[in-house]
Amino acid sequence: MLTRPWVMGVVNVTPDSFSDGGRYDSTERALTHARRLLDDGADLLDIGGESTRPGATRPLISDELGRVIPVIRELAAEGVLISVDTMRAEVAAAALEAGAQIVNDVSGGLADPEILDVVAGNDASYVAMHWRAHSERMHDHADYAPDGVVVGVRRELGQRLDAITAAGVPLDRVVLDPGLGFAKVAAHNWELLAGLADLAVLGRPLLIGASRKSFLGQLLAVDGTPRDVGEREFAHSALVALLAERGVACLRVHDARATCDALAVSAALAGVGAIRKADVPWQNSHQEVV
């Protein structure tokens, strides 16, 4: 049976993200954007204050906190389900204190291992993404020989799961993410998307962040010039519909409306009237949707 993935709307409170850098870098602008994502059908919002675009340098912790905490505090008070996109234990702790319920750590606990203690200590849910190095150096780590990217990512995510549970985070609080574009070239991303069943054997729900990423721009390139970042939504919508059929549990997206439209198409084609949302370790995860 088709299950509907959760739609996680992206709010980058950053001056320099590749997809939307500088557009929502004040609390007011971020909140306006957040409310638009919710109106468009997002189930939860991912609030981040550090750009992870290739080559990005890291912000000061004080800047990251100043970007995300006021936005999280305001939205959480309105009852919005929030994840904080951070690799830092200190930011995760402050975000959970401000009302976030999920920590989305693109480093899967490698950048700052204490983040796992924060997640465990707060009974939070945790998204662990496959990651090898900070953005300024990740291109040097995109080698998956001899086993290939799917086997490599599965092995390394499995190692992260061991570390996460050893830190006291219950397994059933964890979602896994292959980390499209992080220490991966375009071909790696397509292999991972085609090989999701091989990642599902790790036994945890999968989250996918493909929205606006450069591998879509490369797919649609003309004469070697990648399609502009704002012109990749149709390709992403097609991918969304296909991923829904493959049982992905959560989609991290910039355009919630286009994503929800694509999901409506998958559901209609599957002949499903009322479908269950995919099982994920966060609130209302057994809610029925139409």
Check residue 91 for interaction with ligand PMM (CB under 6 A). no
- Complex with ligand PMM: residue 135 or 266, whichever CB lies closer: 135
Residue range at the interface with ligand PMM (CB under 6 A); choices 36-44, 63-71, 174-182, 192-200: 174-182
In the set 106, 167, 176, 275, which binds ligand PMM (CB under 6 A)?
Answer: 106
How far is 6 from 280, CA to CA, in rounded Å? 8
Binding mask 116-155 for ligand PMM (x = CB under 6 A): -----------x-x--------------------------
* 277 in catalytic set: no
* 204 in catalytic set: no
| Nearest alpha carbon to residue 2 among 265, 283, 281 | 265
How far is 262 from 105, CA to CA, in rounded Å? 27
φ, ψ of residue 223 to 5 degrees: the values are 50, 40
Peptide bond into 146 cis (omega under 30): yes
Residues 198-237 that bind ligand PMM (CB under 6 A): 207, 209, 212
How far is 112 from 86, CA to CA, in rounded Å? 10
| Residues 160, 110 contacting (CB under 8 angstroms) | yes
> Where are the alpha helices (H) located in 144-232, listed in sequence order?
149-166, 186-194, 196-200, 214-219
Task: Report the interhelical angle of 186-194 vs 149-166 (nearest 10°).
Answer: 70
User: How many residues does this entry show for the chain?
Assistant: 290
Check residue 12 for interaction with ligand PMM (CB under 6 A). yes
Residue range at the interface with ligand PMM (CB under 6 A); choices 12-20, 27-35, 185-193, 281-289: 12-20
How far is 209 from 103, CA to CA, in rounded Å? 15
| Catalytic-role residue among 132, 154, 160, 213 | 213
Q: How many residues bind ligand PMM (CB under 6 A)?
A: 19
| Catalytic-role residue among 88, 173, 252, 277 | 252
In the set 6, 18, 24, 144, which binds ligand PMM (CB under 6 A)?
Answer: 18
Check residue 189 for interaction with ligand PMM (CB under 6 A). no
How far is 57 from 126, CA to CA, in rounded Å? 24
**Residues catalogued as catalytic:** 213, 252
* Binding stretches for ligand PMM (CB under 6 A): 10, 12, 17-19, 52-53, 85, 104, 106, 127, 129, 177, 179-180, 207, 209, 212, 252
